Amino acid sequence: TPGDTYHLTLAIADAGDWSLDSGVFIGAGTLSEIPDPDIPGGGGNAPVPEPATMLLFATGLIGFAGYSRKKMQR
Predicted confidence at residue 59, as pLDDT, reads: 94
* Burial of 2 from C-beta contacts in 10 A (0-12 / 13-18 / 19+): exposed
Q: Give per-10-residue mean pLDDT for the chain (74 aa).
A: 68 65 64 58 62 89 90 78
**Contact assessment for residue 23 and residue 12, using Cβ atoms and an 8 Å cutoff:** yes
> What is the rounded distance in angstroms from the CA atom of residue 68 to the CA atom of residue 73?
9
Predicted confidence at residue 22, as pLDDT, reads: 62
